[in-house]
Chains A and B, each alone.
Chain A
């Protein structure tokens, strides 16, 4: 293993040198000794790449310095934009995981994508991505080994994990009785009819229904369980004011204004509501929270292999991750972000920020790849059309 990566590094250095005109060719390892497919492909050096990165992203995660970056992330991505400028970066946005996969398949090709754990297999199976070369990422060694392992397929590092968090219900403590806010059942409570908003995310909706119905294997539902979950979600449907798509332009303003009192959300909503002095809580349901982690995947057809690695390094380094955690209250994959680096200590404790084992507990259901995804997808469309 050690030997193989040594060869790969030498080979890549040699390729870059040859293109750049340096006389390193003699030191280059024999290409025949390379076993990893990523290394056997000859690539232009970083200087020969256009640097035009097309990135499939969730809003708010744009690199520092770009016009699109409005949430004040001044560190994440800054190393990259300082070095290469911002003009080469183009963002395409997604609002849910299925849409991300859909766009990656139909409207790409993208150089970098930001899917979550549950979709890694789909991206690989569809040939949309190629493995990263961890040797090109200076901070790779700092990343949480548990997440790193989960980002591998056939031993290759297809996903560089970056952000993780929980999904639960955010509710207005000034309108919702604390006694009602104990579990995911709150979404079904007729008392809050028209004041609830579920996320338009197929697998998440079915995972919530599975937790409420008591199906422990929420990502491996049988056909009968899917149809029971579908009926349960149709039962919940009239309670919704709307199914939300955009976190920032739909869900958060609705919670802020009181249009909606209970919303499926991630923990960053807690932070934005607190800064707006809106009294909310992020529920710890009796059935457990959902949890997720996402990361960067490298486009199979990228012509900016080295730029893409530099870009990702500028997000996974310690300084970027510390800011990310403090800005959104999300966890990150960088283990150097210890709890003492989180500004809000109460938040760090309640959400397990900086705890490398936060996602390994039994009560945090890690959203994973679903074998019956197609059936779940169709069932969700049926719920929405019912």
Chain B
């Protein structure tokens, strides 16, 4: 009904009439987001304050007990787990970004002719499922895994005494997260470096700048939008990560995402789990707001100022 009205309006445009411009094309995706993203968040919100229950026949009434417990009770384990997860996410994001930069630099400036071949190689592991790759790491890092077999075979470790921190540790969780995200961070940095005006480098060289000075004063500042985009690409998904710690993390290395997952899959009560889920959504939204303006930067264009 509404659609036909719009079509009529479009056919006979006149002053004062509603004219759906090109913006009307955004209605389907907007509806999609409203129904499939905002809707569930509202539901989870209702669960978190006890206005809904997953237990048939349970009485529902507004209560802020779970929120109060999570936010204010002394030594709340979920709050501590949240802080710990944020630290892990931040550390992984920083390390991944630092490692991805030389990779992108290599692709863009060193491997010029074959850069897309190398890029394809870099992305090759991503043709298999994430879950399989995490399980593959489990096979590598296990007490009887490939790595432990190797260190024992070459005598770095006595036989029958595997390196214990290789798996079910902070190390293994960090390593697998790092491995998973490096290519994703390299991509936006690579895109920025690719589109950098290389004449600027020549100009710097002509003016007597050393290669290091050129890098620090030209290349690095110009690549910052890509660096920040890459950093955010890791930070936001890692705050809710749960697959990696589930497979290669021990009881003490589980992240906030695992607490949420556990509440929803193993516990008969979704209400407390919803408190944690809403918190995570809020934090992700906050991060998006803070970093959003960097993400809006068109990575293909030279940063503003370059054109002038």
The chain A residues found within 8 Å of chain B, CB to CB, are 96, 98-99, 101-102, 105-106, 122, 125-128, 194, 200, 202, 237-238, 240-243, 257-259, 373-374, 377-378, 380-386
Contacts and interface: CB of A to CB of B under 8 A. Distances in A.
Contacts of B168: 241-242
Contact of A242 (B164, B251, B265, B272): B251
Interface stretch (B50-58, B87-95, B185-193): B50-58
Nearest to B76: A382
Contact of B54 (A105, A125, A128, A258): A105
B77 A382 contact: yes
A202 B267 contact: yes
Given A202-B267, A240-B250, 14 more contacts: A96-B266, A98-B268, A125-B57, A127-B56, A127-B57, A257-B142, A257-B143, A259-B142, A378-B272, A381-B263, A381-B267, A383-B77, A385-B259, A386-B77
Contacts of A237: 251-252
Interface string B238-255: 000000000001111010
Given A237-B252, A257-B143, A386-B77, A377 B267 contact: yes
B46 to A, nearest CB: 16
A382 B252 contact: no
A246 to B, nearest CB: 11
Nearest to A374: B269
Contact of A99 (B144, B266, B269): B266
Contacts of B81: 385
For chain A, what secondary structure do more than half of its interface residues adopt (helix, strand, loop), or is it mixed?
helix
A127 B164 CA distance: 48
Contacts of A385: 77-78, 80-81, 254, 259
A318 B265 CA distance: 36
A378 B54 contact: no
Interface of B: 54-57, 77-78, 80-81, 142-144, 164, 168, 249-252, 254, 258-259, 262-269, 272
Nearest to A378: B272
A241 B138 CA distance: 14
B251 A106 contact: no
A242 B250 contact: yes
B77 A238 contact: no
A237 B78 CA distance: 16
B251 to A, nearest CB: 5
B266 A200 contact: yes
B250 A241 contact: yes
Contacts of A381: 78, 259, 262-263, 267, 272
Contact of B251 (A98, A125, A126, A238): A238
Nearest to A257: B144
A386 B263 CA distance: 14
B268 A101 contact: yes
For chain B, what secondary structure do more than half of its interface residues adopt (helix, strand, loop), or is it mixed?
loop
Contact of A373 (B264, B266, B268): B268
B252 A98 contact: no
B266 A202 contact: yes
A386 B203 CA distance: 57
Contacts of B265: 99, 102
Given A259-B143, A386-B77, A122 B272 contact: no
A96 B262 CA distance: 12
A187 to B, nearest CB: 12
A102 to B, nearest CB: 6
B273 to A, nearest CB: 8
B63 to A, nearest CB: 13
A150 B258 CA distance: 36
B170 to A, nearest CB: 13
A255 to B, nearest CB: 12
A252 to B, nearest CB: 14
Contacts of B266: 96, 98-99, 102, 200, 202
Contact of A377 (B57, B77, B264, B268): B268
Contacts of A101: 268
Contact of B56 (A105, A242, A378, A386): A105
B268 A384 contact: no
7 contacts: A105-B56, A125-B57, A243-B251, A257-B142, A381-B263, A384-B254, A384-B262
A106 B272 contact: no
Nearest to A198: B251
B127 to A, nearest CB: 25
A128 B268 CA distance: 14
A175 B259 CA distance: 33
